[in-house]
Copies of this chain bind each other. A is one copy, B any other.
Amino acid sequence: LRLGLPEVIYAEGKTPEQVAEIFRRMADRGGAVLATRAGAEAWNAVKAQVQDAEYHALARVIGLRERHAATLHLGPIAVVCAGTSDLPVAEEAAVVAEYLGVKVSRIVDVGVAGLHRILSQREALAEARAVIVCAGMEGALPSVVGGLVAAPVIAVPTSVGYGAAFGGLAALLGMLNSCSPNVTVVNIDNGFGAAYVAAMMLRAGAKSA
């Protein structure tokens, strides 16, 4: 059913050996492979077994592109976040989207407390077929971005913050109650899921045209 989509390993809670072993087995079948939530040790174990794999340290993603496969040129989408703390989640989204054949434009350092920064990116946003917005603390950025674009916004609450941030709960609730009607939400820190949904939208859209 999902021809062309990579196999994805969730590396959290698996030993480096387990990750490497599953990765190699999937790579042998010839398609694309991804491992998310993968630390340096998992990467060391994988690269010893799968020559062409690549590591994206900030995103904590190990990837292997499909050989001889015609790349789908979907998108572009924008991946947006406010600051350095949200970057790992944003990068997980961006890197996964790229492996799924989607062109990504990264827009970082655009918090709601300094509107000029997000406003200065309106052109880049206007080109996006979908926008992924990662935000912690009060999670207000998706509402602001939602008002600036005529495209779906996939909001990713992050666990960034302290105290009454409650590990991402404040951002999650904020996003679910967004006053911008084009906003949907995935799980806290789930950059992978946001990328996957964005790719699905673009593929389904491409088919339907």
Contacts and interface: CB of A to CB of B under 8 A. Distances in A.
B130 A204 contact: yes
A177 B184 contact: no
A173 B173 contact: yes
16 contacts: A12-B162, A13-B160, A82-B179, A113-B147, A140-B179, A151-B203, A163-B176, A163-B187, A165-B187, A170-B174, A170-B177, A174-B174, A183-B186, A183-B197, A201-B201, A201-B205
B139 A138 contact: yes
Contacts of A179: 82, 111-113, 137-138, 140
Contact of A164 (B8, B150, B162, B188): B188
Contacts of A144: 112-113, 115, 140, 144
A140 B112 contact: yes
Interface of A: 1-2, 8, 12-14, 18, 74-75, 82, 84-85, 111-115, 119, 129-130, 137-140, 143-144, 146-148, 150-152, 154, 157, 159-190, 192-194, 196-197, 200-209
A102 to B, nearest CB: 11
B163 A208 contact: no
B202 A208 contact: yes
Nearest to A84: B14
A184 B184 contact: yes
A152 B203 CA distance: 9
Given A186-B184, A204-B150, A208-B205, A138 B174 contact: yes
